[in-house]
Structure 1
Amino acid sequence: MADIQQLKDMVTQVRRDIVRQVHAVNSGHPGGSLGCAEFLVTLYCEFMDHDPSFNMDGKNEDLFFLSNGHISPVIYSVLARNGYFPVEELATFRKLDSRLQGHPTTHEGLPGIRIASGSLGQGMSVAIGAALAKKLNDDDKTIFSLHGDGELQEGQIWESVMYAAANNVDNLICTIDVNGQQIDGSTDQVLDLGNLQAKFEAFGWNVLRIKDGNNVEAIIEGMREAISLSRKRKPICILLHTEMGNGVDFMMGSHKWHGVAPNDEQLEEALAQNPETLGDY
């Protein structure tokens, strides 16, 4: 268990990793990655029972599935900083023959990655399958997943939401990154999602909100509540309210940084706002 300052130091370093990865190859998705840094650091360092030595079965481990696979820079950084593979490998992001593809894939055998993700809407189905497998195997561990709010415009999500509730998949905690932005603009403008809490509750889920999803203390409190609601015959949804581009002031709150890399000057500005804490690769 890390203390709060250790978690915040990790978050700062993960932000540096994110902007450096996308800058080096002038491609990638920094906005959503930065917005989810606090959540994924806290999940992996505080709540998940996981083994960096890694095997695909994940027996007797909590499992995490990233559905919105375009935010790969943040999951790669968090996995590396938790010992799944050498931190130095982050320098190969999106390069030819790298295991760190723009969207995570499995055929490279990258530790920590159990599904290929990037085709939006599929991750919840996989998470439900894993949760049911845990039940069949009398494995009491928990399945966690992360989804973008724009991703909820995919129909497969709502089939999954209906299935999970109907089958009492109560060892599943799905988090929605509610940043209100997607590649073409705000979610309200592109396709209004309406009242997400009411929708999930209408489908039979337990729903809670983390209103400050970029605050480590708030995430810890919210995750504790979510875990306390598990095993009560309902799947759990966390509505995690984040800021796209959080921690880099000129990226914050704008859909324009969904999939654009910083130039040299912007990289230096981003790094200046996030001083090195754990050592760069």
Structure 2
Amino acid sequence: MAILTKPGTASVTSSVTRDRIAQLMTRLTGDEKHTAAATSTLDVLHVLYGRILDLSPQRLDDPHRDRFYLSKGHGPMAYYATLAAHGYFPTDWLDGFGAFDSPLGQHPDHLLIPGVEISSGSLGHGLPLGVGAAHALAARGSPARVIVLAGDAEMDEGSAIEAVEYAGAVGLEGLTLVVIDNDSSSYGVHGRIERRLAANGWDARRVDGRDHDELADALARRVHGVPTAVVAQVERKYGAAA
């Protein structure tokens, strides 16, 4: 398989630091029952928006922009902080998180928040949507990528599995799936996610979800004729194993 994008050759760079995003997250003081879901995505989001995704607040309508789909939408605090840090909306919006009149709800709303490509929160929806978008971009001859961020337990959803099988069968090379693995799946077996993806025609690798250079190398990878996947291992959601 020919590698179309070599590791470490992302097309964008940003001066926004991880600490800046983490500081902005502290302004989101509403219902925080999904704090672990949000913090587990922080480093991946930082790398995606700082070093990988070819998009900006000025190009929201550019048909050739990359698309980012947060399928793991039930913990959007890090996502909101990342978007604010990169100028998609004013940082003052963060202070109203979860309020009745705030655009920043417990789940991201595509119609209310600049930079949000899909309304999400119900697990299992993001990857099928990403498959459709990658198909459409390929039909147009666009070089744009679609990157979907999901959780490990979400990969047990039937809709996600069907999307995995289909994307591999038709070779959607413009599609990248990022799976945050914090051992939250009831059926979690180390290595099962990437083995299932590879068995269905994906180029999949597991990386340290807190190592920015390792993440950037894996996320920049694009392989001819197949979709790619990055399984980002982070700390266990419920603490150390007994």
Query: What is the aligned counterpart of 2:95 among 70, 91, 97?
Result: 91
2:46 maps to 1:61 = no
Deviations 1:143-186 (A, max 9, x none): 111000011121111100111011111110101001112xxxxx
Aligned residue in 1 for 2:227: 235
TM normalised by structure 2 equals: 0.87
Distance 1:206 1:99, change over 3 A: same
Q: Secondary structure of 2:58's match?
A: coil
Aligned residue in 2 for 1:148: 151
Post-superposition shift, 1:107?
A: 3.1
- Deviating above 4 A after TM superposition, structure 1's stretches of 4 or more consecutive aligned residues are none
Q: Secondary structure of 2:225's match?
A: coil
Structure 1 alignment gaps of length 5 or more: 182-186, 244-252, 257-281
Post-superposition shift, 1:124?
A: 0.3
Q: Choose between structure 1 and 2 for higher RCO, CA contacts under 8 A separated by at least 6 residues.
A: 1
Q: Secondary structure of 1:208's match?
A: strand
The whole-number CA distance in structure 2 between the counterparts of 1:148 and 1:58 is 28
Q: Secondary structure of 1:17's match?
A: helix
- Residues 149 and 177, structure 1, Cα contact 8 Å, conserved in 2: yes
Distance 1:140 1:20, change over 3 A: same
Post-superposition shift, 1:54?
A: 4.8
| Counterparts of residues 123-134 of structure 1 (less than 5 Å) | 123-134=126-137
The whole-number CA distance in structure 2 between the counterparts of 1:153 and 1:240 is 17
Partner amino acid for 1:206?
Answer: D
Structure 2 alignment gaps of length 5 or more: 1-11
Q: Secondary structure of 2:55's match?
A: coil
Aligned residue in 1 for 2:77: 73
The whole-number CA distance in structure 2 between the counterparts of 1:165 and 1:236 is 9
Greater C-alpha Rg? 1
Distance 1:255 1:58, change over 3 A: farther
Partner amino acid for 1:200?
Answer: L
Distance 1:28 1:14, change over 3 A: farther
| Counterparts of residues 155-166 of structure 1 (less than 5 Å) | 155-166=158-169
Distance 1:221 1:107, change over 3 A: closer
CA RMSD, 1 decimal: 1.9
Q: Secondary structure of 1:170's match?
A: coil
Distance 1:200 1:127, change over 3 A: same
TM normalised by structure 1 equals: 0.75
Aligned residue in 2 for 1:205: 202
2:142 maps to 1:139 = yes
